[in-house]
Amino acid sequence: MKKEVSNKKLLGIAGLGWLFDAMDVGMLSFIIAALQADWGLSVKEMGWIGSINSIGMAVGAFLFGIMADRVGRKNVFIITLLLFSIGSGLSAFTTSLWLFLVLRFLIGMGLGGELPVASTLVSESVPNEKRGRVVVLLESFWAFGWLLAAVISYFIIPNFDNGWRIALLISVLPAIYALYLRWNLPDSPKYLEVEKKKRLTAWESIKTVWSKDNAKNTAMLWVLWFCVVFSYYGMFLWLPSVMVIKGFSLIKSFEYVLIMTLAQLPGYALAAYLIEKAGRKFVLVVFLIGTAISAYMFGTAESTALLMTSGILLSFFNLGAWGALYAYTPEQYKTNVRGTGAGMAASFGRIGGVLGPLLVPYLVAQNIAISGIFTIFCIAVLIGAATVFFFGRETKNTDIA
């Protein structure tokens, strides 16, 4: 019983940090739309806000993933949340786009470093038969963060002068509380079992990730991460703006995105149930195909009913796939390079997170229809599903040494 409570406490503390990370990313899509009005941003400048965040996430995932194998999962867990909290607080006081972009880069580093390290820590700390389900439940905190972001954005940003500044300040306070909780969190038992003298240097870890034993799994993960992140950030960061393009008011688009966000919760629940019953590959492939079909429907929708239905299905399948991705990734590597392997895969994926938000305004400027843009995301997701299906290995109930 004691271990079960400990697992729940670990999930709660890690999930709380995950929730506030998601809240920041979720609010960013609304803040971008608000900054366009306040600062008179062009569509391309709006795209750069999302992309610089992803550049920071790529750098953070790479650096902090390697660091997690050297100094421990817990220490990196604390550093990344601290970086995120300070960056978010300072960004509320910016008055220029360039300074806002610098801070978004630092915030992105914290976000990008925390997510793979958090999933690695939780993955290494629970029994094999519960590992996948618990990591998916960890990822489900992302939905609560997005939901909180949608609520704050709906009630704060449009209704107050400089409402986006207030929203950013709100995100900092609970993150500080999460930092306090995390301070007394024990490190991963599997990491602690690796003797200091056996811990690899950064370069040795990178070489091991691409060694003969790991190269196939690494290549599969990198393609998968790129496709998922490219499509996710390309679609979801632009949801409020796409709704406006389709003729809805900014406030009405906030309402619709809030409803779509609620659909993430049952998506996570089903993925958490199936991941230990049917396996990681099954959940990833099925949920990615569901994402692709929903993306195509959303892009081509011409009625409010079809737009809402496809948006709900898009949230349901896409975020369920994300949960499986975070469960699946750490299981591909041994403990001494798990942080590096997961961090490098996430880092490569973030390149897609840079390109996705930039692609949308570029194609809009070329008068490409929203349906054509979402078809591109649909194809990317299908490539990710095919990569897992043909090259991925099933890791359900396997021991992660």
Which pLDDT tens digit goes with each residue over 53-87? Answer: 889 999 999 999 999 999 999 899 889 988 888 89
Q: Decide if 66 contacts 202 (C-beta within 8 A).
A: yes
Within a domain: 150? yes
Predicted confidence (pLDDT) at residue 388 exceeds the cutoff of 90? yes
Q: Which helix or strand (DSSP H or E) is residue 69 part of?
A: helix 43-71
Predicted confidence (pLDDT) at residue 221 exceeds the cutoff of 70? yes
Within a domain: 397? no
Average model confidence (pLDDT) across the chain: 88
Residue 253's pLDDT is what?
A: 66
Which residues form the domain of 284?
2-183+205-391
**CATH code for position 242:** 1.20.1250.20
Within a domain: 191? no
Within a domain: 189? no
Residue 367's pLDDT is what?
A: 86
Within a domain: 144? yes
Q: What are the CA-CA distances from residue 192 to residues 91, 156, 327, 387 (Å)?
A: 37, 44, 21, 34
- Amino acid code (one letter) for 381: V
Higher pLDDT, 238 or 3: 238
Q: What is the CA radius of gyration of the chain?
A: 20
Nearest in space to 119 (alpha carbons), one of 133, 143, 139, 140? 139
Residue 343's pLDDT is what?
A: 97
Residue 324's pLDDT is what?
A: 96
Residue 72's pLDDT is what?
A: 92
Q: What is the DSSP letter of 201?
A: P
Nearest in space to 66 (alpha carbons), one of 271, 209, 227? 209
Residue 249's pLDDT is what?
A: 64
**pLDDT-based confidence at residue 37 (cuts at 50, 70, 90):** confident
Place of tokens 């929708």: 301
Within a domain: 379? yes
Predicted confidence (pLDDT) at residue 31 exceeds the cutoff of 80? yes
Residue 116's pLDDT is what?
A: 92
Q: What are the CA-CA distances from residue 30 to residues 135, 142, 167, 232, 370 (Å)?
A: 28, 16, 10, 16, 19
Count of domains for the chain = 1
Within a domain: 192? no
Predicted confidence (pLDDT) at residue 159 exceeds the cutoff of 60? yes
Residue 4's pLDDT is what?
A: 42
> Of 117-131, 241-255, 290-304, 305-319, where does mean pLDDT reach its minimum?
241-255
Q: Decide if 115 contacts 99 (C-beta within 8 A).
A: no
Q: What are the CA-CA distances from residue 243 to residues 32, 249, 306 (Å)?
A: 14, 8, 13
| Average pLDDT of the residues in 260-283 | 92
Predicted confidence (pLDDT) at residue 223 exceeds the cutoff of 90? yes
Residue 110's pLDDT is what?
A: 93
CA-CA-CA-CA torsion sign (19, 25, 27, 29): negative
Dump pLDDT digits (tens) for 327-352. Answer: 999 999 999 999 999 999 999 999 99
Higher pLDDT, 213 or 184: 213
Predicted confidence (pLDDT) at residue 5 exceeds the cutoff of 60? no
Within a domain: 190? no
Predicted confidence (pLDDT) at residue 323 exceeds the cutoff of 80? yes
**pLDDT-based confidence at residue 314 (cuts at 50, 70, 90):** very high
